[in-house]
Amino acid sequence: MHAENGTLRKYLKENFENLTWNNKFNLASQLAYAVSCLHGEGIMHRDLHSNNVLVHQNIIKLADFGLLKRIEETSNSQSRTFGLIPYTDSKSFNGSAYLLNKKSDVYGVGVLLWEISSCQPPFHGKRCDAGLALNILQGLRETPIHNTPEEYISIYTACWNVKPDNRPTIDQVVNKLDKLKAKQNIIIKDFHLYNNDNDIQSSYNYQSNSDVISENIDSSHGNLSQIIQNFNIMNTKEIESSMSSGNLFENSFDTIVNDIINYLVGDSIEVGKQKVLNYLNNHNITLQDFNNLLLNNQNNSNSIYLLGKFNDLGIGICADSQKAFEFYQKATDLGNAFGINELGYCYEKGIGTNIDKKKAFELYQKAADLENSFAFELYQKAANLGNSYGINSLGHCYQYGIGTDIDKKKAFELYEKAVVDSENSFGMIDLGYCYENGIGTDTNNKKAFELYQKAVELGDTSVITNLGYCYEKGIGTDIDNKKAFELYQKAADLENSSGMYNLGDCYEKGIGTDIDNKKEFELYQKAADLENSSGMYNLGDCYEKGIGTDIDNKKEFELYQKAADLENSSGMYNLGDCYEKGIGTDIDKKKAFELYQNAADLGNSYGINSLGFCYEKGIGTDIDNKKAFELYQKAADLGNASGMNNLGGYYENGIGTDTDKKKAFDLYQKAAELGNSFGMHNLGDCYEKGIGTDIDKKKAFELYQKAADLEIYME
């Protein structure tokens, strides 16, 4: 195969002075669209970097893996591996059994888009070693080149988001680049997927006007499909001459195993099984051949895990839960995280063995500890070498008890060291959070604000929302709702889900802008789509109350369920309310009690108050007024108006405590001042009857009126 301009890296190096932004957008679009075609056929590249993308007459060509071998034949294996670190999905560096997937390709595309903008390799001049991998894992990314259009920056930064789920799909990348091109009125040249065996090219003449698409698309579809089917098979003549097809298959065995595990782990059972069968068929591999290879690789823990999975699901063989259990046990003995997890599931559900919930828990814990222990050791080594990102990550381990005991003071000291030793923005954010919440140190809102502000100035977009929150609530600075709104808007424009959620809250409450329920609903929807649990909870609230949309109790219930599954305490509380009252689901008092308990355990004041109500009324549990009193007290201490009102009732009537009319009056007054209609009504009752205060019929009437205006029905 001939590529006139060589690799993309070579092309950028030789042409950096002549490339305009139009030229760069052209290359970026060709690259994204080519990868989109692969994903459309269920194929992942997994090896995107600038030495594996070719340029021929200014046209992008994706090379297959055989070409990579020829291009880099002069490189030694170790240097090549480390050289690819900047392009490799950061998630794969965290020590867990993470499998490269389509979002990994999107990550690589993001790095390449940056490289196209800068015309130099990522982290140019830095050592590509384990230290760099650790830094990338913790969020280190290249900084935007001066004069890069904001829209282009937002595209590639979204691609390399630390969380794969927050990255766009490749089709979304293509669409965003299309919009950017439309603004620039760019005509995109042909792109090529290249199969070096037959030198087949598929060409797309693509213009910013979506109505003007070359007829070549339809005519070349057959060729393109053939290219994609052969994409993953190394078939250059020089490789064929040096190894048989059987050896070739065995050499790509690990890749195939990883792909198949990815299907089985990432999809539902039926979808995963079908994808496995399609994958093997597309690679001309029979189930028998693949099974034989698995059996011949008994030292490979992933092979053993797959044998267990095939027996478990009956893929190509009759399902055999006993054999599945035995293979999972063997994979577990070899320390395979997938095997450990599946073995735990076997004990939990009684698959191939007797049910043993305790054993299941221990295995699930072991799978988690494997990752945590590895992470702690890695961060400790990096910290000992003075790596600021390692120091900061070690702080995380101590703060959250990852692979070690929780030590918040130690965590604070490490965050502080990371900031002092170098301008580490992640350390600044964590240190700011410690100062804001008094973790390992005294609360100091001013310092928290200054640290958040400095991190933003260093280009860390993830903390823009925190800074906005400081301006909204007056944390370490004066309240400035307009500034808060602007910062939330900026974060939302950068596809930050927390920014979207907070911006929605601004439109809901008129913070720094006019109230706009439609915009509020749309922003909560966007945040929810990005798996933001607060966005889900608030979107559920919109469906509950008909804010910016029609009331839909079923959708409300589903969103609260989803938020609760993500450990959102407000979602748990509202889901409990749904089960208690039969909103969008059947009434289940026991389930309601459990959810209120879960929310309370996470410190949610509404959950604590509702749990107290359950103990007072015997909802899903036995009546226990002493416990109810304690919970109302706890909710009141957290500033919960309903908790204050309920606590007042207990003091007034001497339930779970001694009667204290004055305390009851004070609590009703506090609840009323916070806008609680029940508190207003009870305070009015105090003034009417002289409970804990002098009789004042006029005040009583005013309070009853105010409560009535809030739609409370009085006896």
Backbone phi, then psi, for 525, in 5-degree steps? Answer: -65, -45
Which residue ranges in the chain fall short of pLDDT 70? 1-4, 63-83, 94-98, 128-129, 182-252, 265-272, 364, 367-379, 381-383, 385-390, 421-423, 711-715
Instruction: Using DSSP, state whether 350 is helix, strand or coil.
Output: coil
Q: With contact defined as beta carbons under 8 Å apart, do 694 and 660 qualify?
A: no
Rounded CA-CA distance 515/152 in Å is: 31
Within 13 Å of residue 677, how many CA atoms lie on the same side as its CB?
Answer: 10
Rounded CA-CA distance 177/441 in Å is: 46
User: Residue 60: left (phi > 0), alpha (psi -120 to 50), or beta?
Assistant: beta
CA dihedral over 34, 39, 44, 46, signed as positive or negative: positive
Backbone phi, then psi, for 7, in 5-degree steps? Answer: -75, 165
Rounded CA-CA distance 330/342 in Å is: 11
User: What integer pLDDT is reported at residue 590 of this predicted model?
Assistant: 97
Rounded CA-CA distance 645/636 in Å is: 8
Q: With contact defined as beta carbons under 8 Å apart, do 343 and 363 qualify?
A: yes
Rounded CA-CA distance 632/607 in Å is: 10
Structure tokens at 249: 């298959």
Q: What is the DSSP string of 103-156?
A: HHHHHHHHHHHHHHHHTS-TTTTS--SHHHHHHHHTT--PPPPTT--HHHHHHH
DSSP-H helix ranges across 4-47: 8-15, 21-40
Closest CA to 489 of 477, 473, 474, 501: 501
Closest CA to 295 of 273, 310, 276, 278: 310
pTM exceeds 0.85, yes or no: no
User: Residue holding tokens 């964590």?
Assistant: 430
User: What integer pLDDT is reported at residue 654 of this predicted model?
Assistant: 96
Cα separation values, 421 from 387, 389, 707, Å: 9, 10, 58
DSSP bridge pairs for 60: 55
Structure tokens at 563: 């938020």
Rounded CA-CA distance 325/352 in Å is: 5
Q: With contact defined as beta carbons under 8 Å apart, do 351 and 324 qualify?
A: yes
Q: CATH 1.10.510.10 spans which residues of the chain?
A: 6-70+79-184
Closest CA to 150 of 162, 158, 161: 158
User: What integer pLDDT is reported at residue 329 of this predicted model?
Assistant: 93
- State the CB neighbour count (10 A cutoff) for residue 345: 15
Structure tokens at 617: 């009324």
User: What integer pLDDT is reported at residue 370 of this predicted model?
Assistant: 67
Q: What is the DSSP string of 458-512?
A: TT-GGGHHHHHHHHHHTSSS---HHHHHHHHHHHHHTT-HHHHHHHHHHHHHTSS
User: What integer pLDDT is reported at residue 261 of this predicted model?
Assistant: 81
Q: With contact defined as beta carbons under 8 Å apart, do 164 and 104 qualify?
A: yes
Backbone phi, then psi, for 206, in 5-degree steps? Answer: -120, 125
Q: With contact defined as beta carbons under 8 Å apart, do 609 and 635 qualify?
A: yes
Rounded CA-CA distance 277/267 in Å is: 14
User: What integer pLDDT is reported at residue 70 of this predicted model?
Assistant: 32
The superfamily (CATH) of domain 6-70+79-184 is: Transferase(Phosphotransferase) domain 1 (1.10.510.10)
Give the Cα-Cα-Cα angle 60, 63, 69 (nearest 5 degrees): 140
Q: CATH 1.25.40.10 spans which residues of the chain?
A: 267-375
Q: With contact defined as beta carbons under 8 Å apart, do 374 and 95 qualify?
A: yes
User: What integer pLDDT is reported at residue 366 of this predicted model?
Assistant: 77
User: What integer pLDDT is reported at residue 5 of this predicted model?
Assistant: 73
Rounded CA-CA distance 213/221 in Å is: 14
Structure tokens at 506: 């601004």
Looking at domain 267-375, which of 1.20.140.10, 1.10.10.10, 1.10.510.10, 1.25.40.10 is its CATH number? 1.25.40.10
Q: What is the DSSP string of 371-394?
A: HHHHHHHHHHHHHHTT-HHHHHHH
- Radius of gyration, alpha carbons of the chain: 30
- State the CB neighbour count (10 A cutoff) for residue 19: 17
User: What integer pLDDT is reported at residue 271 of this predicted model?
Assistant: 64
Closest CA to 527 of 546, 540, 511, 514: 540
Rounded CA-CA distance 238/496 in Å is: 48
DSSP-H helix ranges across 530-658: 533-545, 553-565, 569-581, 589-601, 605-617, 625-637, 641-653
Exactly one of 47, 64, 259, 312 is catalytic; name it: 47
DSSP bridge pairs for 206: 188, 213
User: What integer pLDDT is reported at residue 82 of this predicted model?
Assistant: 42
- State the CB neighbour count (10 A cutoff) for residue 358: 8
DSSP-H helix ranges across 149-231: 150-159, 170-184, 216-219, 221-230
Amino acid in position 470: C
Catalytic residue status for 47:
yes
Query: Which secondary structure element, helix H or strand E, spans residue 709, and what is its range?
Result: helix 697-709
